[in-house]
Amino acid sequence: MNTRFKLFIVTLLFAVTTAAAETAVIVHPSNSASIDRDAINKIFLGKSQSFSDGTGATPINQKDGSPIRSAFDKNVLDKTSSQVKAYWSKLMFTGKGTPPEEQAGDAAVKTAVAGDSGAIGYIDASQVDDSVKVVLSF
C-alpha cells in the first residue's frame, strides 16, 4: 500500500470514530436545576443567564472548529458553526452579548465545570466521571 492510501484509511477511521462518539452536556454535581435541550440552547445563545432554579449559568464551549463543537452547534443549538459565529458577531457588534468562554478540550472543560457550580459545558461522554453530572447526551 502506498503512503497516501494508508493516510486516507487512517483519516477515514478517525472520522467514523469521531462521528460515532457520544457527547455529554455536563454541569457541576451540586446543580439540581431542571435542564433540558431548550434551556441549554438558551444559555449557550445568551438568551438566558441562569438555570431554572435561578442559579447563574456560565456556558463553556469547546474550541472553535473542533468536531465536538460542530456537533453541539448542530444538535443542541440547531445551527451550523458558521451561523453561531455570525449570531455572536452581531450581538458583540451591537454590545448586546458576549459569547461563552472557550476551553481547549474535554479535560479543560471538565475541570472548569467541576470547579464552578454554575458552569455548563460539553465533553466526549467517555471522559465523564463523578466530578461532573450529565444532563443531556446526544
Does residue 98 lie in a domain region? yes
Range of the domain at 128: 22-137
- Mean pLDDT over 14-34 rounds to 81
pLDDT above 90 covers a percentage of the chain that reads: 85
- Mean pLDDT over 53-73 rounds to 97
* Residue 7 confidence (pLDDT) above 50: no
Query: How many Cα atoms within 13 Å fall on the side-chain side of residue 17?
Result: 7
- Give residue 72's pLDDT: 98
Report the number of distinct structural domains present in the chain.
Answer: 1
In whole angstroms, give the CA distance from residue 40 to residue 135: 9
Task: Mention every residue, 6+ apart, whose C-beta is less than 8 A from residue 103.
Answer: 60, 61, 62, 63, 109, 112, 121
Which CATH number do you get for residue 40? 3.40.190.10
- Mean pLDDT over 60-67 rounds to 97
pTM attached to this predicted model: 0.84
Does residue 4 lie in a domain region? no
Does residue 1 lie in a domain region? no
Does residue 29 lie in a domain region? yes
* Residue 124 confidence (pLDDT) above 50: yes
Band the pLDDT of 21: cuts 50, 70, 90: confident
- Positive or negative, the CA dihedral 106, 111, 114, 117 is negative
- Mean pLDDT over 68-85 rounds to 98
